[in-house]
Amino acid sequence: MSLAEKLGQLQQFAWTGDTGPGQGQAAQVRDMARAGRLGSVLNVYGAALTNELQRVAVEESRLGIPLVFGLDVVHGFLTTFPIPLAQAASFDTGVAERDTEVSAREARSSGVHWVFSPMMDVARDPRWGRISESFGEDPYLTAVFAAAKVRGYQGPDGAAIPPGKVAACAKHFAAYGAVEGGREYNTVDLSESRLRAVHLPPFRAAVDAGAATVMAAFTAMNGVPAHGDRRALTGVLKDGWGFSGPVVSDWTGVAELVAHGFAADARDAARLALGAGVDMEMVSTCFADHAERLLADGRLARERLDDAVARVLRLKFRLGLFERPYCDGHGEVTISSAGDRRAARRAAGRCMVLLKNDGLLPLVGGRSIALVGPFAESQDLHGAWAGPGAGRFPAVTVAQGVREAAGGAEVVCARGVDPEGRDVSGVPAAVAAVEAADAAVVVVGEPSHLSGEGGSRSDLGLPGAQDALVAAVAATGRPFAVVLVCGRPLALGPWLDAASAVLVAWHPGAEGGRAVADVLFGDVDPSGRLPVSFPRVTGQVPVHYDHESTGRPCEPGRSNPRYGSRYLDLENGPRFAFGHGLSYTTFRYGEPSLDVPAVSAEEIRAGATVEASVRVTNTGEREGDEVVQLYVHDRVASLVQPVRRLRGFRRITLPVGGSTTVRFTLGADDLGFWTNAAGGEFLVEPGETDVYLGGGSSAPGRCTLTVT
């Protein structure tokens, strides 16, 4: 390969297609492909178009190296599934795998080879808009779902990615979710132990699952921008974990090293990014413009360039593009199938979380229903980064779903306020509808554009006058349920105490309206659990469940609570904690137990395990799902430990009166911790570890393991 051809493999351009064939940007992409100076195109799909561009690269360039086409396919291509945060609420990796299987099949048939997903940034500040793309605040839950997404996109084979599957991209490396103040693209500052205990495990899980690619973060961590962080990209990811695929920049991320004040100019940015371990440049052209001069000046090693090229070519071989460069135009999926929409509906139902319920839900059929609020008849249920299907196939509204499920009962809809909460002229009509109906459901929340990239918010309350609408409904004195359509946890208003029931539907996707109705009428048991804590007020965040112990914890009965770790004007703890969720039935837990009461630290380090178990019984009047959760707490350690850490979960279905014993295995990863030593040190120390088994992060049932 010539130097120009090598650099071409490292270049990814964005397709806009807005200038027409043979003109402007479209012509540039074709000319670059023809000259062998383009490795990838993003934001392009459609069998005819991708095959046309591929033909230029394969049949008209000197070496015939195929292009790889990439696209943001986050929770659906044509068939929109619930947002990733919602999927994590299912505590069911099958939901994530089903989403990615459908997404991969639809996208690959349309010429897409590479999806920029999963996003596995642990998010503990819900002001950050991209929490909607995350799996929440917990590293263990995030890691499990990240690995499931990778398997669903790529298939079980660790090497070849077969037809009908796509290459996954683990993003954003690393700690993008820890931005200060929840502001997009902001600074990140982390200790070594928190980096390795919280933010790296999901990426390690994705790499171990065979993730084909990794994307660098926009942010600077501890003063070093991710696109120039050799310690992270090369030291940890490539050398430490043995990652052999390409690292792609985020959109113009290489050029932005200049704006960071880390690089003097574009040439310096190319030197720093390539030297750090970035292998492909998205959109900006620092590599293509300056790498030749850097090589000539001895400021870039040819071995590093060749390594980057090899990684890109290896990706294309994994995808089988040299053998099968074109997609089958006759097999292109152009419409969301009935089967896939059923899968999306089932997934959405499993993701919903019932926060409270005084018995109003499930609704009784045959009664008139007032369905009020800005999202009662809204099709804005797809959520951020919904894929091209969101524009082609409108989401089923809550009103449509409720009417289908109501069995001919009267359903009256009244918006009340608009989604931004500005126009309050409809509030009187909404109140009148509630007063005239047998049952009332208020559907409020966030428009999709208020979450996702660039969707940081300083106020986590309902937008505008939506709180006032719910308060007006509450003032009627009639029982009512609230359905929350959202991309993040919200700080709920004073109406919460008056509401008979509150259901978190998230942004539930294409079949969201029917899925909401399934839960409201009891056809689906609401068995989701919170993957992120709901704060009492915005000023309380971050308020994640796995905070470290303090010297003056805020505990009940403290002689002078003023001097505990708390706010003077706020009750301590979140409104609803991680792992919380109710069902339409009830469950009883027995006493947790361990198969052995003690084990030596040496045995654990050598691979020994301990089994924890608990008996669970359905004590209600209907079949239901429970999410059994296991948490650990190291009582005394050489580094202060979180009050609890999730280390296992199991979703089970039990009939009325049914019981089962749920078992978990604990090993070194569960009982040890990372220190702040340079480069990180993982320790398993002697001492006592409390093991909690129950239905949430505050479950009281525990047993104690002694590590000698």
Local structure of 82: helix, strand or coil: coil
- 250 given a catalytic annotation: yes
Residue 328 vs residues 72, 111, 331: alpha-carbon distances, Å: 21, 9, 5
Helix 427-436 and helix 466-474: axis angle, to 10°?
A: 30
The DSSP annotation for 444-467 comes to EE--GGGSSTT---S--SPSTTHH
Q: Where are the strands (E) in 276-388, listed by range?
A: 281-282, 353-357, 369-372
Instruction: Judge contact between 57 and 495, C-beta under 8 A.
Output: no
Residues with Cβ within 8 Å of residue 339, at least 6 apart in sequence: none
Instruction: Judge contact between 132 and 177, C-beta under 8 A.
Output: no
CA distance 435 to 49: 55
CA distance 662 to 691: 14
CA distance 110 to 327: 7
Tell me which amino acid residue 84 is. P
Cα angle 462, 467, 472; round to 5 = 160
Per-residue tokens: 106: 């639809």
Residues forming beta bridges with residue 594, ordered by sequence position: 612
Q: Name the phi and psi angles at 20, rounded to 5.
A: 85, 155
Residues with Cβ within 8 Å of residue 556, at least 6 apart in sequence: none
Residues 629-651: b if buried by 16+ CB within 10 A, e if exposed: bbbbbbeebebebbbbbbbbbbb
Tell me which amino acid residue 417 is. V
Strand order in the sheet with 353-357: 353-357, 501-504, 480-485, 439-445, 369-372, 411-414
Instruction: Judge contact between 190 and 676, C-beta under 8 A.
Output: no
Which of 92, 121, 138, 250 is catalytic? The answer is 250
Active site residues: 250
